[in-house]
Amino acid sequence: MSIATQEDPAYEPFEPEYLRWILDQGFDDIVDHYFRGELIGAERLPERGPLVLAANHSGSSFPWDAMALDALLWRRDGQRPEARFRTVYEKILSQHWWMRPFGIDDFWRRCGGVDLTFDNFDRLLARGERVSYYPEGVAGIGKGFQNRYRLQPFSTSFLILAARHGAPIYPVHVVNAEWVIPFNFTLKPVDLLMYKLWGVPFLPLPGGVAAILFPWIWYIALPARMVLVVGEPIDAARLARDEGVTDFRRPDRAAMKRVAERVRRRWQVDLDENVRRYGRQPYHLPSLARAFGRTRRAGRFHRVLPTNWAYWFCRLDRDRRREPARNRLHAVLRDWDLLGFYLPLGWPLLSLARALRRPPYGYRGLDDATRRRVQGCYLWRLP
């Protein structure tokens, strides 16, 4: 099986049924009863593109905010594949297995994501897609709690492409997601060392160190009540013309940087206002208690506990690709390797099991090209 490239026009990794399955079997419960996600102002969004939905990141080292927004939009649009917002995501999230939720193979693309390259973004808008984007990039994921609600510098690329295709930009102000992991801080010297040694852009402290000891902690999240507010659209083409840019194929980069900073400053003002309005009680314990009560009465409480997520979602993913367990004991024993999430220094056990076990547990018996394709360790270029 060859790696998908621009010359493979039939390739489409998005699996709508898989996304519906993941949401129905647990992630909807996490969004509704753990994060209690609320999407405000979504009626502003056109039903057709091209358009760019752009949101601030929470700086929590793992993009729970993006996953919650994705789920809420998918549900609002009736879980219709043709109405799916295509999220362009940083390629590093697929290149390292531990940056995929619980190491699930090719998770981001199977759920509708598209590799973030300039050409991919351009082609999505050219064919009239609605695109989700995070203009802070990796810096937004790794900015740490000390920079909560402080927007990092914006890329100019999404503004150029929005102007080129006449696509309005709808900002989404994500409130309270900063409190998902309020104990993660970042230091630039440590981040530079991590990048030089392992190609990892940041190491959150002390959470990253704790996750080295116990892998499940890497995916931990506290029950912050996420409020996601869709703002008024931004006309990137008009702003660019105000700075003297008229050629969106060869724009003046200095002028576009001024546009990006102008947008970021306006965005920061609106974000601060929404934080004042919705961010006073990031955990809001009364609504959390009611939500937990509902899941307990429905027999789904185990789905919303973060200690269970790694085991639960890995089992779900495997269940779609294997025969039913013969009995309860067999159901537990065949997933023995998932114990590595909870053992001290369990990462080597998880990696070794992936190397030695056959699919759907690992990659033994697969040639290199097939293994990379299954894992998602490749760059997908849209035709």
Output the pLDDT for position 58.
86
pTM of the predicted structure, to 2 decimals: 0.91
- pLDDT tens for 95-136 read 778 788 999 999 999 999 999 999 999 999 999 999 999 999
Residue 316 counted as domain residue: no
Query: Are 37 and 181 members of one domain?
Result: yes
Distance CA 149, CA 275 (A): 8
Domain boundary among 286, 302, 336: 286
Output the pLDDT for position 71.
96
Counted domains in the chain: 2
- Cα-flanking dihedrals φ and ψ of residue 174, to 5°? -90, 120
**Containing structural domain, residue 343:** 321-375
- Residue 202: pLDDT over 50: yes
Query: Are 107 and 208 members of one domain?
Result: yes
Query: Are 168 and 93 members of one domain?
Result: yes
Share of the chain above pLDDT 90, in %: 79
Query: Are 279 and 347 members of one domain?
Result: no
Domain boundary among 235, 270, 286: 286
Query: Are 337 and 249 members of one domain?
Result: no
Query: Are 276 and 345 members of one domain?
Result: no
Residue 270 counted as domain residue: yes
The string of DSSP letters for 311-326 reads HHHHHHHHHTTSPPPS
Residue 268 counted as domain residue: yes
Q: What's the pLDDT band for 195 if we cut at 50, 70, 90? A: confident
Per-residue tokens: 139: 């810096």
Rounded to the nearest 10 degrees, the angle between the axes of helix 253-278 and helix 157-165 is 100
Residue 314 counted as domain residue: no
Residue 74 counted as domain residue: yes
Residue 308 counted as domain residue: no
Output the pLDDT for position 6.
43
Is 114 within 8 Å of 124 (Cβ atoms)? yes
